[in-house]
């Protein structure tokens, strides 16, 4: 009798586990489904993956990882370029803002991307906030008519305190920056991929559809 229940127990496990795995894969596929933002006020549209958790006429906040609420894409339409620095500044920082201690020297790399005929400036921000925390932000923007269209990817690309001993050697801030930038430029990173796919879908055409 004991052997019968033991066989039945392990048989049920064999049945349940594949179903659970299927459900998890199905949830992932739903989360990864592309959705569309259509903004008729400014005349643009784009595809995105994730969930919009905040929306106004000129701002969107997209949560791209349900299990980590801090993985976000901020989208903003403004008259000046800005970047979202959640840890070291606490929000949107305008470029060349003289009131802030943050400066554009925290941009470790700038490149240009062409998307649907529009030139985007892509800045890689690595700002050390102390106690091992960093703002590692990929920030892209383009100008259309009199407005800037800004996209900030917020993800924990880097943690660690400069000065700690690594492999019997005192680490430097520059070594951390090099490592962080390498991760932020990795096209295989799922967050970078979702961010790039969203940018590549951005356009000002067919917004009425």
pLDDT tens per residue, the chain (209 residues)? 444 333 433 333 323 233 333 333 433 433 568 899 999 999 999 999 999 999 999 999 999 988 888 899 999 999 999 999 999 999 999 998 877 777 788 999 999 999 999 999 999 999 999 888 999 999 999 999 999 999 999 999 998 888 888 787 888 999 999 999 999 999 999 999 999 999 999 999 755 54
pTM: 0.81
Judge whether 91 and 101 are in contact, CB under 8 Å: no
Judge whether 86 and 73 are in contact, CB under 8 Å: no
CA-CA-CA-CA dihedral for 132, 53, 186, 28, to nearest 10: 120
Q: How far apart are CA 199 and CA 209, in angstroms?
A: 19
Query: Which residues have CB under 8 Å from 118's CB, separation 6+?
Result: 142, 144, 202
């Amino acid at each position: 009798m004991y052997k019968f229940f033991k066989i039945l127990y392990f048989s049920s496990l064999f049945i349940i586990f594949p179903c659970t795995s299927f459900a998890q894969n199905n949830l992932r596929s739903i989360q990864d489904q592309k959705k569309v933002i259509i903004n008729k006020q400014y005349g643009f549209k784009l595809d995105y993956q994730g969930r919009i958790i905040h929306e106004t006429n000129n701002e969107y906040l997209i949560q791209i990882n349900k299990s980590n609420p801090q993985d976000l894409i901020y989208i903003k339409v403004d008259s000046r370029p800005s970047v979202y620095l959640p840890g070291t500044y606490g929000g949107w920082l305008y470029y060349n803002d003289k009131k802030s201690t943050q400066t554009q020297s925290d941009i470790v790399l700038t490149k240009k991307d062409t998307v649907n005929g529009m030139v985007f400036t892509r800045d890689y921000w690595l700002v050390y906030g102390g106690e091992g925390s960093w703002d590692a932000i990929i920030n892209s923007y383009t100008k259309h008519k009199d407005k800037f269209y800004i996209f900030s990817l917020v993800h924990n690309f880097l943690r660690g305190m400069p000065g700690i001993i690594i492999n019997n050697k005192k680490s430097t801030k520059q070594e951390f920056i090099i490592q962080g930038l390498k991760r932020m430029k990795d096209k295989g990173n799922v967050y970078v991929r979702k961010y790039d796919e969203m940018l590549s879908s951005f356009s000002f055409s067919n917004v009425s559809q």
